[in-house]
């Protein structure tokens, strides 16, 4: 199946908010961090309060690389956005990423040439999956890797980076998220949809239109998952996000972040510190939760790393 350009009309919000945050804003929240708390409060604490480092994995690095190639692909003239052109971008983009993030180079042992070569081949394989579901020659994205934000409940800034936003001539919005992970999709689909609804809420509140389509592109499986939100759903989702932030604030006040084991533990970097795996969390930071307006790691360490 090849995805079509977005063309349908969308619902209109009665009461879009201003794009300029009011002075009452006192906290911010990204979809990744909100999803962390929903998934496991202790994971939220490790990432957003303790700010424990997480070394990128080969899978995350591959996601970063593929996201970078797909972003650069749209710099080319439409006719030049071919699988060959995308393939030609892989090695230069990897070189650029290693220069900007030297820790990525440590994913492979010194002198290991087979590992990096296979890594680049596997990234090219994911790009083949992309071309199986979309023809970028027919698309002119309005935004790529764009930071978007909005204020909800008058005091909570919600913000995040979307992979791509397509805007049809009639103004219809389509939010596109590339999924490159090799993990079972069902383990992450709810989290991915939560993230897309988050973006839909931001766009609705800032542009006054409900996105017509929220699209997940699973590159490994060469599959498209489309979701159509509506205004009522986003109103409910907004309440959910606000309630989630209130729960986070309560947990901070009580310094009480409990583990919630699930299948996602298999992808958690912090099992050694987790009571569910026999570990002990570090003492709660003396500085508390830090600046609530600085939503730590609101950008995944690298695009694609949060999959």
Which positions touch ligand SF4 (CB under 6 A)?
Answer: 40, 42-43, 259-261, 264-265, 268, 270-271, 274, 276-277
Rounded Cα distance between 204 and 215, Å, is 16
**What are 24's two structure tokens?**
């009452």
Name the residue nearer to ligand SF4 (CB basis): 36 or 134: 36
Cβ distance to ligand SF4 smaller for residue 222 or 265:
265
Burial class (CB in 10 A: 0-12, 13-18, 19+), 184: exposed
Nearer CB in complex with ligand SF4: 28/39? 39
Residue with tokens 């596997």: 122
Q: Which helix (H) or strand (E) holds 276?
A: none
List the beta bridge partners of residue 162: 146
Residue by residue, DSSP assigns 149-218 as EEEETTTEEEEEEEEEEEE-TT--EEEEEEE---S-HHHHHHHHHHHHHHHHHHHHHHHSB--SEEEEEE
Residue number, 59 or 135, with CB nearest to ligand SF4: 59
For residue 257, the minimal CB distance to ligand SF4 (Å) is 9
Q: Least distance from C-beta 154 to ligand SF4, angstroms?
A: 32
Specify the residue, 11 or 54, whose C-beta has the smaller distance to ligand SF4: 54
Over the Cα atoms of the chain, what is R_g?
20
Name the minimum Å distance from CB 36 to ligand SF4: 9
Residue 54 beta carbon to ligand SF4: minimum distance, rounded to whole angstroms? 11
Return the structure tokens found at 135: 């023809």
Q: How far is the CB of 305 from ligand SF4 (least distance, A)?
A: 16
Q: Which is nearer to ligand SF4, 157 or 289 (CB)?
A: 289
Smallest gap from residue 304 Cβ to ligand SF4 (A) = 19
Structure tokens at 149: 């934000």
């Amino acid at each position: 199946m090849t995805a079509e350009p977005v063309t349908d009309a969308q619902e209109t919000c009665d009461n879009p908010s201003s794009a300029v945050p009011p002075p009452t804003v006192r906290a911010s929240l990204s979809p990744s961090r909100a999803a962390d708390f929903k998934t496991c409060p202790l994971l939220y604490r490790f990432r957003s309060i303790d700010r424990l480092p997480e070394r990128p994995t080969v899978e995350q690095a591959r996601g970063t690389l593929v996201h970078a190639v797909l972003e650069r692909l749209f710099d080319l003239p439409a006719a030049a956005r071919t699988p060959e052109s995308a393939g030609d971008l892989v090695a230069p983009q990897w070189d650029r990423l290693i220069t900007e993030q030297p820790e990525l180079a440590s994913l492979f042992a010194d002198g290991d040439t087979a590992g990096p070569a296979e890594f680049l081949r596997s990234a090219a394989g994911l790009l083949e999956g992309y071309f199986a579901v979309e023809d970028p020659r027919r698309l002119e994205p309005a935004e790529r890797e764009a930071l978007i934000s909005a204020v909800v409940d008058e005091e909570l800034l919600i913000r995040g980076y979307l992979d791509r936003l397509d805007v049809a001539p009639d103004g219809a919005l389509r939010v596109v998220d590339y999924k490159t992970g090799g993990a079972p999709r069902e383990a992450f689909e709810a989290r991915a949809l939560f993230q897309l609804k988050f973006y839909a809420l931001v766009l609705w509140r800032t542009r006054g239109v409900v996105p017509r389509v929220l699209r997940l592109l699973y590159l490994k499986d060469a599959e498209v998952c489309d979701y159509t939100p509506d205004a009522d759903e986003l109103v409910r989702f907004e309440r959910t996000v606000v309630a989630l932030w209130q729960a986070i604030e309560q947990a901070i006040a009580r310094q009480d972040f409990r583990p919630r084991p699930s299948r996602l533990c298999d992808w958690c970097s912090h099992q050694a510190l987790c009571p569910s795996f026999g570990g002990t969390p570090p003492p709660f930071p003396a500085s508390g939760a830090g600046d609530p307006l600085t939503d730590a790691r609101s950008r995944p360490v690298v695009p694609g790393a949060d999959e």
